[in-house]
Structure 1
Amino acid sequence: MSEQSPYGASNGGWAGRPPAAPPKKRRKWPWVLLVVVLLLIGGCVGVVALLAKGVSDESERTVRIRYEVTGTAEGVAISYSTWRDGDMSTNQETARSLPWTKEVTTKGFIKGGSLSVTLGQSGGKAACSVTVDDNAPRRATASGTFATATCSGF
């Protein structure tokens, strides 16, 4: 015979209320995924903001460019170009004697240019030099009739 509870029911089944089900475990991976996605988005926004500030600062920075030609040649053709506020400016001059110098200031995201020196029919020797701010100069030399020296990449 089965035991009876004081209320007259047998203990063969449940005694009053069913046993409690184990509590459901909450899934943690959606929250972890949300945090990871938010961190990635925040990091991307931070990187974009830093890049934008760097580009803005560089486009507003003013630099001084010094073009210089030295040597023994006479009647040389000098051509120099400079980026100014997004536009290329090219100038040509003829120097009867050397040395020759020109200094310009420029700003804008694109900076730089080139300097070319072409010797005349009488030949001789010439050297060009371009210095941006206080950086190391770019140099080139030429000698002989109609020889050309080009300083670029600054």
Structure 2
Amino acid sequence: MDDNTQESATPSLFRRANRSALIVSGVVLAICAGLVTYGVLGTGGSDSRPERRAPTASVTYEVSGRGTADITFQARNEAGQATVVKAAALPWRKTVDVPLGQAPTVSITLGENGGQARCTLTIRGRYVQSATASGTFGRATCTGALPTTPATAS
């Protein structure tokens, strides 16, 4: 009978050891999940680097007329890429920030119905240029220049 007693005690020890290993594994898994969540969500604290933004100037693009026109303009994009608005209803107006050193530009193209439309460009509230497009697929472009450094208060 002594042999039977030892056999029944041995599985009990293994069960306790398995439970302990499961508990320890669960705690380690919970800690790892917490660290991953912390890393994904971030702290939003002061140790994160602030986003560098290029200085900009306020630019207003305006297209007057009737009907529609395709309008291409530059907005806040340091690479200088343009934004295109297809078949925009006229009159149309948009104020955006353009990075200093870029040349703000607005171009209009009339459709096959033609007509007449006028683009106007203002930088920091000051009129810079206007141009008129007329006729079938008529085109006009207004462009200006921005300084490479921010304006100082006067």
TM range (shorter): 0.5 to 0.7
Rate the CA distance shift 1:144–1:136 in 2: closer, same or farther, 3 A. Answer: same
Amino acid of the structure 2 residue aligned with 1:79: T
Structure 2 gap segments, 5+ residues each: 1-52, 146-154
Deviation at 1:113, TM superposition (A): 2.4
For 2:136, which of 137, 142, 145 is the aligned residue?
145
- Share of identical aligned residues, percent? 34
Rate the CA distance shift 1:88–1:124 in 2: closer, same or farther, 3 A. Answer: same
Any idea what SS the aligned residue of 1:149 has? strand
The reply on whether 1:102 has 2:89 as its aligned counterpart is no
Deviation at 1:135, TM superposition (A): 1.9
Rate the CA distance shift 1:121–1:115 in 2: closer, same or farther, 3 A. Answer: same
Distance in 2, matches of 1:107 and 1:93, equals 20
Amino acid of the structure 1 residue aligned with 2:74: S
The reply on whether 1:135 has 2:129 as its aligned counterpart is no
Deviation at 1:94, TM superposition (A): 2.0
Any residues of structure 2 matched to 1:81-120 within 5 Å, and which?
A: 81-82=74-75, 84=77, 86-108=78-100, 110-120=101-111
- Number of residue pairs matched? 93
TM-score normalised per structure 2:
0.53
Any residues of structure 2 matched to 1:17-28 within 5 Å, and which?
A: none
Runs of 4 or more, structure 1, over 6 Å off, are none
Is the helix fraction higher in 1 or 2? 2
- Counterpart in the other structure of 1:75: 68
Deviation at 1:112, TM superposition (A): 2.4
Any idea what SS the aligned residue of 1:136 has? strand
Distance in 1, matches of 2:102 and 2:88, equals 29
- Counterpart in the other structure of 1:65: 59
TM-score normalised per structure 1:
0.53
Amino acid of the structure 2 residue aligned with 1:93: V
RMSD: 2.1
Rg: which structure is higher? 1
